[in-house]
Amino acid sequence: MATEYRYIGKPIPRRDAADLVTGRAVFIDDLCIPRMLYGKALRSPHPHALISSIDVSKAKALKGVKAVLTYKDVPPDWISGLPPHRLVLDRKVRAVGDGVALVAATNPQIALEATQLIDVEYEVLKPVFDMEEALLPDAPQLYEQFTQNEFTPGCPMFSKEPFKHLQRGNIEEGFKEAAFVEEGTFSFDKFPHPLPPEPPGVIVKWDSPTDLTVWASSGAPHLMKMILQFRMPGVNIRVIGLHTGGSYGNKQIISMPTFYGAVLARATGLPVKIMLNKTEHLLTWEVRLGSRIHGKVGIRKDGVVSAFQGMWLVEPGFSSELAQGQMGVGLGEAQVMLAKCQNWDLDTKCIATNRSPGGPIRGFGGQELKSAMLPLIGLAMKKGNFDPVEVFKKNFVQPGDGYFWRDGNWWTCRETDYVKTMEEAAKKFGWSDKWKGWNKPTAVNGTKAIGVGVGVHGNADVGEDESEASCRLDAFGTATVHCCIGETGTSQRHAAQKMVAEVLQLPMEKVLITNADTLVTPFDFGLVGSRGTITVGTACIKAAEDARRKLIEQAAAIMHAPPEILDTRDGFIFVKEDPSKGMPWIAALGSPERTITGLGVYHNNFTTPNFVIYFVETEVDLETGQAKILHVVEGTDAGQIIDPINLRMQLHGSFGAACVDTALFEESVLDQTTGRILSADIIDYKWRTFNEFPPFDTVILESQFDTHRFKAIGIGEISGAPGAAAVLMSLSNAVGVDIMEYPATPAVILKALGKA
């Protein structure tokens, strides 16, 4: 049974809610630093070319222009990517939208006009847009150091040795056990855009020749600082996080705009703002990784997957920011989904192509892999006539099962058993009545056919990496939490305040939290992987508990009482058995000038994966191929709910952000001739508007997980991850033939029906 709390589990208004709805909250585009300039980039019109000549004289002569820089003017040792490979500016451009020159001016309009005055001549090179074509010996080579366009494997930030090839058990014996085997090639490769409302932006200011301050729309200021410090040798970097205007995993590091701002600020001696407009955001910013798997799966007669073999190809475009790390997470998440499978041979390749960069997005590797895996597994389930819910129940990770995670280490699952969650969500959806079998519609009404589908997802990154926090108590009954929590829209700062208020039994208005600033706050890895609930929560809880202990001990010495008989509430310390005996905090501290500080630290732990199951009912017009979602039920077990409204909002947010609707219409449309993305605005980029949301129900269990004092687990990032595969399954069942292409546009469906 869940414990009754004062704040935890209750819909307490956010401290920043009034600022957000009245416009007082400060976003990066609101911020203006004295004497600040505005930076703009001239971008390549070609997907692959060498700069033959570049003349910036006209741009420099324009009134208001303070600097114009080309590849000749930027530091050669400032290199981004994994491993480092992308220069700030390069003589070679590798995608439409790649940087050619930079301008700093007194206003954005002048900066933009100056870019149009730069004369560039190009030697156009042959591009390559397909992963497998890029691997051919005669394919155009994007980088000299990467043979056949394959990025070097491994992510040193995650593991000492590259985790790129999952090998376990005996793959031949695993397939011998299987009664049903399927193989084929399946893709999730239309690189949809997460499209947070606010585009990425930074303001960059040199405080000294070696000290750089960056204001950024980042949800992970310390992670951004850490990565940039590796890429800018000899520079001390301070990152200040602001409201991000939504991130969806896509606005954490923001390295290239920071590079652009830093070189312009150094050239001019003034602060520089780099703010992408929406078109630049859609054309040049990180999209979801392309994913393609050549795979083979075997399932035993009892529904347990016995073997999985394949090659997973991952396409991060022309630059890999963190793709190799995402691949490691994907390999781990595959094992969480198929935890009973003891036989694996799943290799990977990360391949450069001449398109815009792919990077971290909500779902981080696992969604890319499993969206391609699940249609293949579905074919094997269909061959055995299995109910997919029963297969997921038998295969999803349970306590005692193990997996290799992205650090390359073996972890054993504890605590979490999600079978009951699957059963309760299936019951609410009415799965047993609606499921008629593979490629069989639930109902047909004239030209309209209805089908159902289901998908699952889980991620052990909820316990990833380090978090530190401190909690300072003052004489006036106020607690100040020092922790580097960027606000990405998930209300994690509010959640931390609720936890600290619960520990200290203070009114919510008496718990303050510092701004995210790497100069003044302890380290935190950032709001990625749904880690905030466990990791940030644990650090803040421990800091508050440590401060409370010190306060009680100080009061106990004054009151001549053992600490264990004392308690505190609303800034007053008292004897538990006789609350009339006590003192205010100021008396315990002895002076209004004194404070008490507690410290809290969390260390990474990958033993407790989270979980969601996604049920969807769709309707297809068999004449037009038009499909729409009729009903969704999403189930999860969040442990103790910290904030019920925010939790449901995270689940409801599963449609966009390159998640569920990638099965129907979300994609970046690439012209294979010119290399240009044609969906360059939010009219041409198709996504769901607010008045098109279908009925959405949730099933949220509250098992009391042993994660921290409040028994909670984060699930926000993964809420949309299983949705696309579930939709594809439902479409196949509605129309009676297999639909295996994302997104399943009317043209795709009509082609499958033989009506193209």
DSSP-assigned letter for residue 732: H
Residue ranges of domains in the chain = 31-126+194-284, 129-190+288-353, 414-462+607-752, 465-602
What's the CA gap between 448 and 442, in Å, rounded? Answer: 11
Distance CA 355, CA 48 (A): 9
Give the residue ranges of DSSP H helices in 139-296.
171-177, 221-231, 255-268, 278-284
Q: Which two structure tokens, joined as six digits, stand for 248?
A: 């969806």
pLDDT digits (tens, 9 = 90+) for 102-126: 999 999 999 999 999 999 999 999 9
How far apart are alpha carbons 676 and 662 in whole angstroms?
20
Contact 201, 274 (CB under 8 A): yes
Q: In which band, very low, low, confident or very high, does the pLDDT at 14 lie, cut at 50, 70 and 90?
A: confident
Phi, psi dihedral angles at 352 (to 5 degrees): -85, 135
Please classify residue 424 by burial: count the beta carbons closer than 10 Å to its beta carbon, then call 0-12 exposed, 13-18 middle and 19+ buried: middle
**pLDDT tens per residue across span 484-531:** 998 888 889 999 999 999 999 999 999 999 999 999 999 999 888 889
Closest to 717 in 3D by CA, of 297, 171, 250: 250
Q: CA–CA separation, 71 vs 728, rounded Å?
A: 45
pLDDT exceeds cutoff 80 at 13: yes
Q: Which amino acid does the sequence have at 75?
A: P
Residue 682 confidence class, pLDDT cut points 50, 70, 90:
confident
d(CA 243, CA 98): 27
For the record, the structure tokens of 313 come out as 């190809």
* Angle formed at CA 158 by CA 155 and CA 163, multiple of 5 degrees: 60
Q: How confident is the model at residue 388 (pLDDT cuts 50, 70, 90)?
A: very high
The C-alpha atoms of residue 657 and residue 489 are separated, in whole angstroms, by 13
pLDDT at residue 1, as a whole number: 54
Please give the share of the chain, as a percent, with pLDDT higher than 90.
90
Top-tier CATH class for 465-602: alpha beta
Q: What are phi and psi of 37, to 5 degrees?
A: -105, 170
Answer yes or no: are the C-beta atoms of 739 and 728 closer than 8 Å. yes
What CA–CA distance (Å, rounded) separates 239 from 516?
8
Instruction: Mention the CATH class of domain 31-126+194-284.
Output: alpha beta
User: Does this chain's domain 129-190+288-353 share its CATH topology with 414-462+607-752?
Assistant: yes
Read off the pLDDT band of 189 (50, 70, 90): very high
Task: Give the span between the Cα atoms of 35 and 238, in whole angstroms.
Answer: 20
In this structure, what DSSP letter does residue 377 have? H
Q: At what angle do helices 492-504 and 537-559 cross, to 10 degrees?
A: 20
Q: Which two tokens stand for residue 58?
A: 């006209």
The answer to whether 535 touches 708, Cβ cutoff 8 Å, is no
**Is the domain 129-190+288-353 a CATH 3.30.365.10 member?**
yes
Residue 33 predicted with pLDDT over 70: yes
Model confidence pTM above 0.75 = yes
Which CATH architecture best describes the domain 414-462+607-752? 2-Layer Sandwich (3.30)
Q: Which pLDDT does position 151 carry in this prediction? A: 97
Burial category of 260 from C-beta neighbours within 10 Å (exposed 0-12, middle 13-18, buried 19 and up): buried
Q: What is the DSSP string of 405-416?
A: -TTS-EEE--S-
Collect all residues with Cβ–Cβ distance below 8 Å to 63 and sequence separation of at least 6.
110
